[in-house]
Chains A and B, each alone.
Chain A
């Protein structure tokens, strides 16, 4: 009986042969026709107002297909981001007062953590995307927010 071979036995995994021979085929291993590559420009500040972003230099790089910033996110849906504000957390299975805070793929006004994406470069090769992103980093104006300059809570 099949169960007798499974219960209480150490069963070898069927997926392992491809992983131990280098044939895993992870996302980074995929090559699709017409594939493009994204490189994100991320905030180096934990809390900063985003100034003007000049995308001209990044757009002019050879191989660059598009450059988007937070201002281009008009009409784009917010990423799902639920915030559980239940007063009584001990009710099992009941979620009250779940707040869906806006969380855009790219921030337009304020970067709220180190690594918050503020722009993205799309190019036909990874090298081109990374080269153009370097230009993007220089083109992002940011003013770090101080204590008296906090944006209002959502």
Chain B
């Protein structure tokens, strides 16, 4: 039995008939066609599927699509505005915060909320806050630098 669900993703309204068991991440990837949000582990550990739901960073594989009815969602595709990279995206590029790039969208979405909470995060805070995001290239050191770089840039704005 399918049910209708609507949500706004990066400013665009998406309405689809879904099975109640459909996960939010699959709604975003398969139905909205936004494949920047990744499924890394299927077990809510890796954080590659991190998105913003009503301004809150969360793992979109831990939630059913029907629970996001009416929600405002932002994904990695919505971070750059008018072709201009978000300072966090810029930081990852500048500080070599990625190798294969698979975990990067989740890292960036987590980092965005982290900087909102801690505008001047210490290295310890960054490492603690990234506990829910795994990088199998294990490039954590440059990810920390990328987030510090972005936080400084955003504070100076």
Contact = CB atoms under 8 A, between A and B. Distances in A.
Interface of A: 10, 12-13, 15-26, 28-29, 127
B116 to A, nearest CB: 19
B15 to A, nearest CB: 20
9 contacts: A15-B101, A16-B98, A19-B98, A22-B34, A23-B77, A26-B35, A26-B102, A28-B39, A127-B19
B105 A13 contact: no
Given A12-B93, A13-B93, A20 B85 contact: yes
Nearest to B19: A127
Contact of A16 (B36, B76, B101): B101
A15 B93 CA distance: 10
Interface of A is mostly: loop
Contact of B96 (A13, A23, A25, A26): A13
A16 B93 contact: yes
Contacts of B101: 15-16, 18-20, 24
Contacts of B105: 22
Contacts of A26: 35, 38, 102
Given A28-B39, A29-B35, A20 B94 contact: no
Classify chain B: how many residues form its interface, as a range.
20 to 34
Interface of B: 19, 29, 34-39, 75-77, 79-80, 85, 89, 92-94, 96, 98, 100-102, 104-105, 108
Contacts of A28: 35, 38-39
A21 B94 contact: no
A21 B38 contact: no
Nearest to A127: B19
Nearest to B93: A16
Q: Which 6 residue pairs spanning A and B have beta carbons closest together?
A: A22-B36, A19-B101, A22-B76, A29-B35, A20-B89, A22-B77
Contacts of A29: 29, 35
B105 to A, nearest CB: 5
A64 B24 CA distance: 25
B93 A23 contact: no
Nearest to B83: A21
Nearest to B36: A22
